[in-house]
Structure 1
Amino acid sequence: MRPITLLLFIGILISVCSCRSDFETTASTGDLTFSKDTIYLDTVFTNIGSSTYRLKVYNNSKNDITIPTIQLAKGLNSKYRMTVDGMQGNNGKIFSNVDLLAKDSLYIFIETTANIADANPADFLYTDQIQFDSGVNLQKIELVTLIQDAIFLYPKRFADGTTETLPIGDEKIDGFFLDENDPVNGNELHFKNTKPYVIYGYAAVPSGKTVTFDAGSRVHFHANSGLIISNTASINVNGAVSTTDKLEKEVIFEGDRLEPDYSDVPGQWGTIWLTNGSTNNTVNHLTIKNATIGLLVQNNDGTTVNIKNTQIYNCANYGILAQTAKINGENLVINNAGQASLACSYGGNYKFTHCTFNNNWNSSEQVAVFVSNYITGAVPEVKDLTAATFNNCIIYGSYSTEMILKKKTGAAFQYQFNNCLLKFDNISNTFTTNPDYQFGTDTAHYNAIILNKDPKFYKVSQNKFNIDDTSAAFAKGNSAYLIPLDIIGNTRTLPPDLGAYQNKPFPK
């Protein structure tokens, strides 16, 4: 009998233990706490989905509770949608009887897709609330999203399911030609400052046409998108000096992810590509951010690409990649690129005056400036570098050597650095006998060079390359190369400072 009694006792014990109190909950009493009291979903374009944002909900009581309802105040009509601990609820809008154990928490994930017509016309904000329970137990979390109206440019979709493409050599890419008589957008070759533009795929400028960007225009590129300036086509960027931190007159090219977490993420979109034969290209007061290659300039037709008062930041590969090109650059600032901030490769003709080339990429392989007269795998492999001239420039960065020259015989290799601050640390005397790096004795190529002195930029991590009078670049320029105004319109004094900025006291 003893085994039978023992088995009976074990059965009763299991039965009692299985009657757990985990699922015996009490109603919520309105004492939930939250990780945030307002969720700002940042800026979105009309009808483009936002990123997903997180809210954590805590039950700090000693009781397991049931929250009768978690819902959006606008109910099924809300433009927001949620998941609650992985549950979808009623279309992501309304959730009933959500259990939450004592001293436990749950996650709510929120996103939105809204139209400009849904927003408040006074401030373009779309708002709602997440409501927990009701009546005296009601608790609320505010939801706020700024919606921007925009002009969307993208390849056509055909009835057979295919998408418009552009021929690039033997390949095809998703893209389209901008149309000066588009039935919906009007003149797509004229970018105005009234609304931002969002481009999907590569927008190409037809041969013989010019694309113009007004001061203050904003262009956002989706992933794997960019702008192509075709053979005999031109680009004209007409930015101007801004008077506020909003850069109201600057032309800005960047990605279409507007959340702060994406503000300095490289490689979000492709490039601005000035192809073989593009002509009469001018760029003034343009800011390029977070591209793969900021500007790709290839074998333009002999006319000079004029790039002035321009900033290029956080490019996955290059800030400017020039191949057999002709460029005149004034008051340029380029920082952070996976390979080189400026690469003048495969020959060409280049002059840069009062420019700041820096590279703080997190790799010892990157440089600020790279110059060569060849490219591997091409036919011919070498091209004449007829000039690579740097006047009153700063070439600096986070690693020991930020300027590299590479040449091969069989083509010209002409370069000159005048009144420049260079970071070039000859570690282990690697370059002591190299004829290309004789900074103190080779006056044909180097004049008044400042080696390895700190320019004391204001805030490199924020791409602020202003200097003050404690900088090693202060008053070290040659007035023969003077550009009278700096990148933000300040008058340069004599002798001028090196780089794109005239010195000013830093803000306190």
Structure 2
Amino acid sequence: MRHYYILFIFGILLTASSCRTDFDTVASSGNLKFSKDTVYLDTVFKNIGSATYQLKVYNKSKDDISIPVIQLKKGLSSKYRMTVDGTNGNNGKIFNNVTLLAKDSLYIFIETTADITDADPTDFLYTDEIQFDSGANLQRVALVTLIQDAVFLYPKQNPDGSNEKIQIDGKAVDGFYLDENDAANGNELLFTKQKPYVIYGYAGVPENKTVTFEAGSKVFFHANSGLFVDKNASLHINGAVSTSEKSENEVVFEGDRLESLYSDIPGQWGAVILADGSTNHTINHLTLKNATIGLSIRNQDATTVQLKNTQIYNCSQYGILAQHARIKGENVVINYSGLAGLSCIYGGDYSFTHSTFYNNWPSGDHFAVNLSNRLSGATPETKDLTQATFNNCIIYGSSTNEFNLDKSTNSQFVYQLNNCLLKFSSTSKNPDYQFKDDAIHYNQIILNENPKFYNVSQNKFNIDKTSAAFAKGNQAYAIPLDILGATRTSPPDLGAYQSADFPK
């Protein structure tokens, strides 16, 4: 019975303590600790909300304290917003009498939405600070955000509230056609380096028009967005060699999430689609990343896509998906694709020289290069692969076999690899993969030797003299300059990069 009495008394005490709502606190003494002294919010476009960033505040003392005020220095006019331990205070700007228990911490989450006119005109930085307490106990944490001005391109809104649509593959998708005489933006078919561009939905190039991207132009695509080049229209990308890792002269296509967390996440936007019947495409010094499909090239029977000095990274499906297309590629680099880096299907005509195809997608069911002369469900189901030639190339990756042939005997299937380093570890007796004995399809193949790239996770495919690709190229196929503009030696190295000191 005594035990029940003790439990009863303990229960009463526990209930009383759990119902306590008042705390004896002392005033903050200016000894708060912070997880960081400056919160850098990644670059944002004007008037587009940032991601949410976190600051943790610690009370290291043995006393429960009360912080008289936590506020933004610019007060209610600040472009920053906060929540403090889940509360919004006065419009997310000012919080009074915040309690912080002994040996405890609280979370502050910070966001911003600012215009370019709010930033310092000399460096485009928008700044403020979080102030804790005042007077002798005042403590500060700085807030810093880079604001980018930009040209925003997006579908118009219809009277019923729906978005403007364009037709892609027989489907209506959110999109619009670029206008060379737009009232607000001027010539939307000319992309310059003066400001970055942000695209919502699919930007279409009208029939019989050409879209041009000048050296240094930067384009950021929102989710489910892309570029669509209609029949009889053309794409001209006129990038140039950059002298730094800032890619200042490259034409860059990527997603519009600028936070560092999103810098290498695949599938953030759609694709660049060169439609059936589009024509006269030239692509030089393009860096494209984080798409679903990088380049989707359809049925280019009458024209050859000229693809030079181009890098395509982190695509959730394909780096290049070519369907009965014609491509001449030089100094092309593709890495990290969910299905294949380069997939040439339904026949076509392809030539790649001094290119590096690598795939380190985490699953094993992928290829660096896939060739096929069929398309399931199409009529007819097969078309001739009249040529697929790879000269002085590297085809490698993390899978057992990075080269795949999907061949139907109902149509022509012509392919040849000359002076290439290839990853293919299977011991299969398939006659299509006899790299040493089949001189019709394979000449001077280096099989399963590590090219020793500088850093594949950072998309740095430079090599040095220890690489198996060093000086193994055929001078007859050599392109004078590599992807960085360096002069190739004789004999040249395989792949898109001439060997040199690794980048710093």
- Using the size of structure 2 for normalisation, the TM-score is 0.96
Moved more, 163-172 or 368-377: 163-172
The 8 Å contact of residues 43 and 148 in structure 1, kept in 2 or not, is answered as: yes
Q: Would you say 1:203 and 2:199 are equivalent positions?
A: no
Query: In 2, distance between residues paired with 1:390 and 1:9?
Result: 84
Query: Residue 259 of structure 1: CA displacement?
Result: 1.1
> 1:266-310 deviations in whole A, cap 9, x for unaligned?
001000000100100000000001000000000024210000000
- Measure, in 1, the Cα distance between the counterparts of 2:445 and 2:368: 16
- Distance apart, 1:167 and its partner CA: 1.6
Match of 1:497 among 493, 497, 500: 493
Say which SS state the counterpart of residue 136 (structure 1) adopts: helix
- Once the 2 structures are TM-superposed, how far is the Cα of residue 158 of structure 1 from its aligned partner? 2.3
Structure 1 unaligned spans of 5+? none
Q: 1:9 to 1:291 in 2, by over 3 A?
A: closer
In 1, are the aligned partners of 2:301 and 2:324 still within 8 Å (CA)? no
- Indicate how the Cα distance of structure 1 residues 16 and 491 shifts in structure 2: closer, same or farther if over 3 A, else same: closer
Alignment check: 8 A CA contact 1:215 1:251 kept: yes
Deviation per residue, 1:442-479 (Å, 9 max, x gap) = 11100000000011101111100001111101111111
- Alignment partners' CA distance in 1, 2:19 and 2:379: 81
Cα contact 1:22–1:101 (8 A) shared by 2? no
Residue in structure 2 matched with residue 139 of structure 1 by the alignment: 139
Distance in 2 (CA, whole Å) between partners of 1:350 and 1:36 is 53
CA distance in 2, matches of 1:11, 1:282: 79
Q: 1:275 is aligned with what amino acid?
A: A
Matched with 2:78 is 78
1:243 aligned counterpart, secondary structure? coil
Residue 506 (structure 1) shift:
2.1
The number of residues matched between the two structures is 501
Aligned to 2:448: 452
- Per the TM alignment, residue 246 of structure 1 is displaced from its structure 2 partner at its CA by 1.7
Question: Residue 136 of structure 2: SS of its match in structure 1?
Answer: helix
Tell me if 1:51 matches 2:47.
Answer: no
Give 3-state SS (helix, strand or coil) of 2:261's partner.
Answer: helix
- For residue 361 of structure 1, report the CA deviation from its aligned partner: 0.6
Shift of 1:169: 3.7
> RMSD over aligned Cα, in angstroms?
2.0
**Residue 23 of structure 1, CA deviation:** 1.3
Name the stretch that deviates more: 133-142 or 8-17.
8-17
Given the alignment of the two structures, is residue 474 of structure 1 paired with residue 493 of structure 2, yes or no? no
> CA 1:12/1:366 → structure 2, altered by over 3 Å: closer, same or farther?
closer
Q: Report the Cα distance in structure 1 between the residues aligned to 2:10 and 2:274, rounded to whole angstroms.
A: 82
Distance 1:448 1:59, change over 3 A: same
Shift of 1:50: 0.4
Matched AA of 1:56: K
Where 1:442 maps in the other structure, the secondary structure is: coil
Deviation at 1:13, TM superposition (A): 6.4
Q: State the partner residue of 2:248.
A: 248
Runs of 5+ consecutive residues of structure 2 not aligned to the other structure: none
CA offsets per residue over residues 474-505 of structure 1, 9 Å max, x none? 11111111101000100111111100000102
Letter in 2 for 1:443: A
Aligned to 2:269: 269
TM-score of the pair, normalised by structure 1: 0.96
Q: Is the CA contact 2:291–2:316 (under 8 Å) kept in the aligned structure 1?
A: yes
Runs (4+) of structure 1 exceeding 4 A deviation are 8-22
Aligned to 2:345: 345
Aligned equivalents of 2:18, 2:332: Cα separation in 1 = 73
* Aligned CA distance change for structure 1 residues 50 and 16 (closer, same or farther; 3 Å): closer
- C-alpha displacement at 1:15, in angstroms? 9.7
Q: Which amino acid aligns with 2:129?
A: Q
Shift of 1:323: 0.4
Pairwise mapping of residues 5-404 of structure 1 onto structure 2 (< 5 A)? 23-404=23-404
Tell me the alpha carbon deviations over residues 313-365 of structure 1, each in whole angstroms, 9 at most, x when there is no partner.
00000000000000000000000000000001110000000000000110100
Contact kept? 1:469, 1:505, Cα under 8 Å: no
Query: Secondary structure in 2 aligned to 1:183?
Result: coil
Q: Distance in 2 between matches of 1:490 and 1:58?
A: 53
Alpha-carbon distance in 1 for matches of 2:268, 2:80? 26
Q: Which digits, 9 at most, give the CA deviation of each residue in 1:14-50, with x for residues without a partner?
A: 8985795961111111111000000000100000000
**Distance in structure 2 (CA, Å) of the matches to 1:65 and 1:415:** 75
